[in-house]
Structure 1
Amino acid sequence: MRVGYFSKMGAAVTAFFTPSTFQLSGGPSTPKELVPTKSVAIIGAGAGGTSAAYYLQKLLQPEGEPLHKHQLLYPTTITIFDQSDKIGGRCQVFFTTNPADPEKNIPEEELAIEVGASIFVKVNHHLADSSKDFGLKVKKLDDELLAIWDGDKFLFMESSWKLWSLLKGLARWGFAPLKLNRLLKSTLDNLLSFYSSPASYSSIHEFSTAHNLRSEASILSSEYLESHGISKQYAEEVVEVATRVNYGSNLDDIHALGALVTMAANDAQQIQGGNFQIFEGMVAKSGAEVRLETKIARIRKLAPQSEGEEPQFEVTTTGGQKQIFDYIILAAPIESTNIDFDISLPPQPKVHYRTIHATFVRGNVNPSYFYTPSSPVSSSTPSAKDFPTHILSTNSHAEFTSLSIQARLSNGETITKIFSPEPLSIDLLDRLYSNRTWVKHKEWKAYPKLMPIAFEGEEGGAEQPEEVVVEEDESVSSEHKQAVFEKKHAKQKTQKEEEQEAQKKAVEAWGQVEVVPGVFYVNSFEPLISTMETETIAGKNIARLVRDRIVGHCPVEKRLKR
């Protein structure tokens, strides 16, 4: 666990020797009769939970004052729980070696390789601004070369001479990249409008409507691209390649918004030493109490102590510790928490998360695996230094989704990361590498399946029952015909259709940011889009909602006008 960073930033981290009751810290005490202190529990220390804590504390701070320097206008304590031993959630790094490793040619900042959530881009304002504010070192990635592999040959390979890459792309795909770029710019402009808006949103439906994202989120990528004149070749060789590596999805099982976001990779960058440091910084700046390696067993709703008061919530850990909070922020996929909720939650939807296998290999990639005399890119095997940094595969018989060089060592070896839908076989590794020093593997639920969303008031989900036809028979009364019709029609509402209808209702319920009064769900935004940056957008949105609730229930609100 990295507690040194928290100490430097002034955060209170209590991971060991925890007393039987939680000790919350919310700044200097304030007379309760004036401004009662509110308490917020955040379940999950990933991008969504840490950003919710960071922005909530920032929103409650007197305007123009730095965090922790003065008392909050509305005193609020924040406690973050996570069953893991680290901050960052699904944003994880793989440490290839130890800083004490005798091989000193590896810079320390390159020891940490992102498992997932590898990059962010310049227009990701929350991540970009936070990394600058926290003094983190940024590594630019735009000079890395990319190639597209179909399982037999390279279809396209970038050149270090950018004009040559542009001309090759124009020859292969025509003006399809320009058409897509126009669609991408329009969608990104809509999404980026969140940063200039002070509004908060109560549901995924409301957010999508306000930022004009519903049409892209409610249609399959394959249908969307075809309807906008994007050639099938470009869609399959470029767009689908991006959706496969970023979301483990082909164009026929991801909505268009997800596909467009994967194409917004200009100005790619990452934090040296790991992107998770952004979220460590958010926690530190928030002043929240952090309870790592702490699993929540139960959340129970308590009756108001007096008329007119809001109910509170009792949080119990698996260790039996209990604490009462005014608000709960769920910042982890609800189906993975295994928490006993005694708060009348609506039925949970079935959310399918993609299982991704990441394989890390130190050794020498065998170029002859990729190059044959018939290769349209090159008839000769290139040197190791000319080998592409990223090889991404099409939806073909390719044996992996992507292979990326993460570090080049002075002895000629590389450290590579391979994404695949299944574990890699020894036979494949033998063919991919001429030698291997070590191989390590990581499997995790990376992101949700981004299927088209049937927004409130729209048709979708279960197929409609076929029309029932009743044969005419003059000897049968009209009343009897009607009875037969209704009976047959009722039978057509099969169990599967009922399950689909129940699933649709559950999705709509969990599309609400505040699933029940006082309980907010960060991951309600994930069916729309799932990235580090959009998790922070969801976190900030919830921070605004909780801020409004705290301010609205403060008895001296009007007297505290600045």
Structure 2
Amino acid sequence: MAKRTPKRPMVGVLLISTLWLFASAAGAQSPRALENGQVPLMTTPREKRVAIIGGGAGGASAAYYLRKYADETGIKPSITVYERSGYLGGRSTTVNVFDNASEPVELGASIFVEVNRNLVSAAKEFGLTMDDADKSRPEDVPERLGVWDGQDFVFTQPDGGYWWWDLARLLWKYGWTPIRTHNLMKSTIGTFLKMYEEPYFPFRSLSQVAYDLGLTNITSETGEKFLEANNIRPPFSTDIIQASTRVNYAQNLPFIHGLETMVCMATDGAMSVRGGNWQIFDGMIKAAGATVKLNTTVQQIRKTDFGTYVLSSKGKAPSLSPTVQEHEYDVVVLAAPLQDASITLTPRPAYVPAKIPYVKLHVTLLTSPHRLSPAAFNLPSDAAVPSVVLTTLGPDETPREREEGVGRAGFFSISTLRHVVNPSSNGDEYLYKIFSPARITGADLARFLGFSSSGGNDDDDDDAVDDDVTWIYRHVWRSYPYLYPRVTFDDPLLDNEGLWYTSGIESFISAMETSSLMGMNVARLVVDDWKKEVCNNNEEEEKVVVKAKL
């Protein structure tokens, strides 16, 4: 009887089966029940769940660029945006004058400029109409712009708004200092724009990239000292540049850092989106294909033992469930100042941004048939008040910080935005916007517009409307940080894994564009990390395949 040869073990089959199981384990997480009984979806390295907290410039940009970068690599993110308010756009939002949807007016960020690469590019991509920032200014006022020190106008010009200056008139009064300022601004902004490009972009450390570019030499000094070091001195610095730092950031030159001072002077090509700048960020989130949860507050971010994050959130609107909802994500992007978010981080991450003071800015929008009163600005009765009034400190005033820094002027700016038609009277009226560190009272409005404060517009009832103030809307923003000199800034990664932060850039430069830059930067870093993960998984799979063949 022939001897039977025993069958060889099916090593190859077993190894291939092991390979399949290994790949499945590496590419998918086993379902884990959450506290509320939900079971998270299984994911692969090419399917990632991302939560973005905040629907403003930083959050919208993170979503938009995350989708764009991921699509270039074949990775498929599922993006959810949590926004505690009822709208997208953050501090870029509009309200409707007389509740008329055809008369929107910016309540927050009003303009952006031609060097704002992300905003300009997105607005063009989404087919939005961009208008010159001065397009709607009333033409029936001889002087368009004035800088007032609480007693006198130290500078006026017939054209422009606070976004651009008449160079010829500046040269006539201040000599060559405006030219030196413009050249210094162009050089400084040119250096900053390198942050969009390799080898500086993307950056894991904002402090390091600022240092590498030499920008910490500018942020370490006050605007006053930085200007003096570059032979830019009063009266130009205090008349013109300080008026710009006050209207843009509510700060005087001895307290704001030098980089933000230069940003205030970068006003070339100022523009706005017709209908509201918020449309840029709404378009970004739509282009990202994100799920949006409005009126939803995130209460806790809890990191699991598996390296994922469980978000506990609760709806605020009556139509939303009042119960706490929990959802699991691979990556979380916190795109709002952590100190204002009231979110518990469990466990405490390796790095927690320090609390910094924010400006409390009062915005007052109103309509009136009255022009600004010459008497309020110590002008002759037959003089015309400029349609845009910026303020600075008088030569006898000591610069102070925070709310006291406003000085005797009492406000940072009053802008006559455009003509509007009152639907009740069909009369032509003026639309005004006022920035101030404290509430503008009815008595203040009566003084500015030259009418009697009796009849409802007094301090006790300063929201009443009548024939003098026909519509009024007030809002208080925590608008931007006090931009004191500093050389270190919050980095975008909080826990060395998947908890990201965009708002650290606000103490470096606070603007819609820089928030967008940090959102884009975080998106690039996240996708780069995913690509590394995919490559590592592929390498491990190849090793197993080689062993199987052996």
- What TM bracket, shorter-length normalisation? 0.7 to 0.9
Using the aligned pairs only, state the percent identity.
32
- Do the aligned partners of 1:21 and 1:323 also contact (CA within 8 Å) in 2? no
| Partner residue in 2 for 1:531 | 511
For the 8 Å contact 1:139–1:272, the answer to whether it is kept is yes
Secondary structure of 1:91 counterpart? coil
1:114 to 106, 116, 121: 106
Question: Which position in structure 2 is the counterpart of 1:131?
Answer: 123
- Alpha-carbon distance in 2 for matches of 1:118, 1:239: 19
- Which of 226, 232, 235 lines up with 1:233 in the alignment? 235
Matched, 1:99 2:132: no
1:351-394 CA deviation, whole Å, 9 max, x = no partner? 111000011111013332356567xxxx8423xxxx53311011
Following the alignment from structure 1 to structure 2, what is the Cα–Cα distance between the partners of residues 39 and 193? 31
Superposed CA RMSD in Å reads 2.6
The answer as to whether partners of 2:300 and 2:311 remain within 8 angstroms in 1 is: yes
- Residue deviations 1:206-231, cap 9 Å, x none? 22124331111111111111111112
Task: Give the Å deviation of 1:204.
Answer: 1.6
How far apart are residue 156 of structure 1 and its match?
1.4
* 1:21 CA displacement: 9.4
Q: Decide whether aligned partners of structure 1 residues 372 and 76 sit closer, same or farther in structure 2, where only a CA change above 3 A counts.
A: closer
Q: Is the 8 A contact 1:226 1:232 kept in 2?
A: no
Give the residue type in structure 2 aligned to 1:118. S
Inter-partner Cα distance in structure 2 for 1:150 and 1:535:
32
Match of 1:326 among 312, 330, 334: 330
Cα pair 1:153 1:371 within 8 Å, conserved: yes
Deviations 1:390-437 (A, max 9, x none): 110112421211001122135342010000111112221111114221
2:442 counterpart of 1:420: no
For residues 212 and 401 of structure 1, the distance between their equivalents in structure 2, rounded to whole angstroms, comes to: 31
Distance 1:415 1:116 in 2: 15
Asked if residue 186 in structure 1 is aligned to residue 191 in structure 2, the reply is: no
Deviation at 1:97, TM superposition (A): 2.3
Relative to structure 1, is the Cα distance of residues 409 and 291 closer, same or farther in structure 2, using a 3 angstrom cutoff?
closer
Residues 165 and 46 (structure 1 numbering): CA distance in 2 closer, same or farther, change over 3 Å? closer
Structure 2 vs 1, CA of residues 287 and 23 (structure 1 numbering), >3 Å: closer, same or farther?
Answer: farther
The alignment status of 1:317 with 2:351, answered yes or no, reads no
> SS at the partner of 1:60?
helix
Larger radius of gyration: 2
CA distance in 2, matches of 1:192, 1:234: 26
Q: Pick one of 265, 268, 273 that aligns with 1:266.
A: 268
Indicate conservation of the 8 Å contact 2:333/2:500, yes or no. Answer: yes
Matched, 1:367 2:373: yes
Q: Which residue matches 2:149?
A: 150
**Partner residue, 2:400:** none
Amino acid paired to 2:51: A
Q: Cα distance 1:409–1:515, how it changes in 2: closer, same or farther (>3 A)?
A: same
The answer to whether 1:452 aligns with 2:485 is: yes
Q: Which amino acid letter does the alignment assign opposite residue 338 of structure 2?
A: I
What secondary structure is seen at the aligned counterpart in 2 of 1:298? strand
Which residue pairs with 1:278 in the alignment? 280
Quote the offset at 1:171 in angstroms: 2.7
Corresponding residue number in structure 2 for 1:50:
60
Instruction: Specify the code of the residue in structure 2 equivalent to 1:359.
Output: T
**Equivalent-residue separation in structure 2 for 1:161 and 1:296 (angstroms):** 43
- How far apart in 2 are the matches of 1:296 and 1:419? 31
Code of the residue aligned with 2:303 in structure 1: it is K
Q: Give the aligned residue type for 1:414.
A: Y
Amino acid at match of 1:391: V
Q: Give the direction of change, closer, same or farther, for the CA distance of 1:91–1:373 in structure 2 (3 Å limit).
A: closer
The CA deviation at 1:297 is: 1.2
Tell me if structure 2 keeps the 8 A contact 1:314–1:323: yes
SS at structure 2 position matched to 1:242: helix
Inter-partner Cα distance in structure 2 for 1:259 and 1:161: 20
- Match for residue 319 of structure 2? none
Specify whether residues 233 and 22 from structure 1 end up closer, same or farther in structure 2 by C-alpha distance, changes over 3 A only: farther
Cα contact 1:24–1:289 (8 A) shared by 2? no
Native 8 Å contact 2:78 2:290 kept in 1: yes
CA distance in 1, matches of 2:487, 2:114: 31
Q: CA, structure 1 residues 409+209, in 2 after alignment: closer, same or farther (shift >3 Å)?
A: same
Runs of 4+ in 1 over 4 A off after TM superposition: 20-25, 161-165, 370-374, 555-560
Contact 2:332 2:499 in 1 (8 A): yes
Say if 1:60 and 1:348 are closer, same or farther in 2 by CA, change over 3 A.
closer
Cα offsets for 1:317-344 (capped at 9, x unmatched): 1332111111111100001111111032
Alignment pair present for 1:551 and 2:531: yes
Kept in 2, the 8 Å contact 1:254–1:451? The answer is: yes
- Per the alignment, do residues 21 and 548 of structure 1 end up closer, same or farther by CA in structure 2, a change over 3 Å counting? farther
Q: Within 5 A, what are the aligned runs for 1:161-560?
A: 165-197=166-198, 199-304=201-306, 311-318=307-314, 319-345=323-349, 346-363=351-368, 364-370=370-376, 372=378, 380-382=382-384, 388-396=386-394, 397-409=408-420, 411-433=427-449, 434=451, 435-455=468-488, 511-517=490-496, 518-554=498-534
Q: Which amino acid aligns with 1:356?
A: L
With normalisation by structure 1, the TM-score equals: 0.75
What does residue 546 of structure 2 align with? Answer: none
Amino acid at match of 2:521: N
**C-alpha distance in 2, partners of 1:529/1:292?**
27
Unaligned runs of 5+ in 1: 1-19, 26-30, 63-71, 101-107, 305-310, 456-507
The code of the aligned residue for 1:442 comes to H
Aligned residues: 449
Give 1:497's aligned residue: none
Matches within 5 A, 1:9-48: 35-48=45-58
**Are the equivalent residues in 2 in contact too, given 1:312–1:325 (CA < 8 A)?**
yes
